Structure 1
Amino acid sequence: MVNDLCLEMLCNPSTHNKLIVDSNGIEEFLVDSSTGERFAIKEGIPSFISSEDIDGTNYDSTKFYNSFAPFYELGQKAYYAFLGGEEKARNDYLQFINVKEGDKVLEVSVGTGANIRFLPRNAEYYGLDISLGQLKQCEKNNKKYNLGLKLFWGNGEMLPFPDDSFDVVYHIGGINFFNDKKRAIGEMVRVAKSGSKILIADETEKVAKFFEKIPYFRGPFKNRKEAITAPVDLLPPNVKDIKVTEIRNGTLYCLEFTKI
């Protein structure tokens, strides 16, 4: 399984040092080649975070997604039925990225991996999520649909990938509730190659106001301190071609830009 991890595509999210593989005879680990810090590999998924590391709004959203994970796809399919079907609904935002043959593609907050099913298969896909519950569902889909997706448990604010690694980087849903949105965006830009397209999409304030009134779904929305807007003001200076588009009757914003 370790051989499938592509070590050249991984690094310590804190130091950005290279990682090597180590084993105690029972378990395998990824180890920082300079500091010796170890990261467990659980059921083939490298773990760059622990439950104890998750706090703030990250904790609130992770708690929700972990509990909702077994029903997430069923809920999504029911919702998308009102939008003309799942493929059409996902293409509402996937149209803003262009995956070409051989591209290395990263989805931050990969969830159950459903987006990957509607993208070209002739690319190399990587997915990271802070919700272990979602990742477990994603691994099931990975095997079911033969996606070839490489999965990682980690925080989008500290990505375990080297600089300039990916041809396409995107994030759909969730950044509204990150502890540090600016840092997360900076990380997406850091790991993208020069000239790469980056897409960030999430619910608008219109949706937040609706969900905060519903007991089960209100958790991630109820503690926001300001109205939700596309985080254009948090973009680093090394991006260009910035564009914001609202889709689905103003319920989802799509922020697209290119790394210089």
Structure 2
Amino acid sequence: MKKTIWKNPNNFNELEVNENCLIDNRTGEQFIKDENEIIQFIQKEEIDGSNKKSTDFYNSFAPFYEIGQKIWYSFFGGEKKARMDYLNYLDIKDNMTVLEVSIGTAANVKYLTKNADYYGIDISMGQLLQSVKNKNKYKLPITLCYANAESLPFKDNSFDVVYHIGGINLFNDKQKAIYEMVRVAKKDAKIMICDETEKVAQKYEKLPYFGKPFKNREKIVPPINLLPENVENIKTMEIRKGTLYIITCNKK
């Protein structure tokens, strides 16, 4: 664990590395790395609202998620091609420090350079446990955190690239999550946000089981208006026949 990157998500105090935990020396609060080497920044009971609704779904589906993704991606030329549709916009280079917000099963990192330093956070423990399996199987250089995108456990200006793929449409507070992504990005860092369009959500919500997270939601609009003022080079596009939107920008 890097000694200079961590902060207490509850009060912004700096955290020190102490054996297998991070400690807030001002309050004595500790954030433990569990037996799966996932650093615990939140408790299950703290997750509420839309976040709980989507997390419950992803936890229940986690063991089958990658199989479902492979089947879905087979309609788009296979998994690698489908993931590179959006990963190509990241420009990740060797030795960069990279954060994936809502890392899911860590499947994206499989297709990126292995010579970068990756961090991944998620509020679905089911998905994080699948990430552990991929991390070990593919020897992925990832530090995994059980944490909330709306209160990231990292200091300002920590990452060369910050990206999020899938999930922000269902966040409790989209703007807070976006501000957090920008906050932890370094000056000039690339930031990317990608998720399904309204076109797809309308189809999903009609499905049994898979449609649960999309019931009673707000209409999906790419959250360009939620970007803070300290970003530039803002670009937005749709890919895969209008099924995904992508927003990219750089921190000023």
Q: Which TM-score tier does this pair reach, normalised by the shorter chain?
A: over 0.9
Q: Separation in 1 of the partners of 2:78 and 2:50?
A: 31
Moved more, 91-100 or 53-62: 91-100
Q: Percent of pairs identical after alignment? A: 57
Q: Deviations over 1:168-195 (max 9, x none)?
A: 0000000001100000000000000000
Q: Separation in 2 of the partners of 1:230 and 1:47?
A: 30
Q: Separation in 2 of the partners of 1:199 and 1:29?
A: 30
Aligned to 2:26, the other structure's residue is in SS state: coil
Who is 2:34 aligned against? 42
Who is 2:49 aligned against? 56
Who is 1:155 aligned against? 148
Residue 27 of structure 2 aligns to which amino acid in structure 1?
A: T
Q: Separation in 1 of the partners of 2:116 and 2:16?
A: 25
Q: Out of 2, 5, 15, which is 1:6 matched to?
A: 2
Matched ranges for 1:123-202 at <5 A = 123-202=116-195
Contact in 1 for aligned 2:116/2:141 (Cα 8 Å): no
CA shift for structure 1 position 134: 0.3
Who is 1:15 aligned against? 11
Q: Deviations over 1:67-96 (max 9, x none)?
A: 010000000001111110111100111111
Q: Cα RMSD (Å) of the superposition? A: 1.1
Q: Separation in 1 of the partners of 2:177 and 2:46?
A: 16
CA shift for structure 1 position 234: 0.4
CA shift for structure 1 position 120: 1.0
Contact in 1 for aligned 2:166/2:196 (Cα 8 Å): yes
TM-score w.r.t. the length of structure 1 is 0.94
Aligned to 1:140, the other structure's residue is in SS state: helix
TM-score w.r.t. the length of structure 2 is 0.97
Q: How many residues align?
A: 251
Moved more, 162-171 or 28-37: 28-37
Gap regions ≥5 residues in structure 1: none
Contact in 1 for aligned 2:41/2:145 (Cα 8 Å): yes
- 2:59 corresponds to 1:66: yes
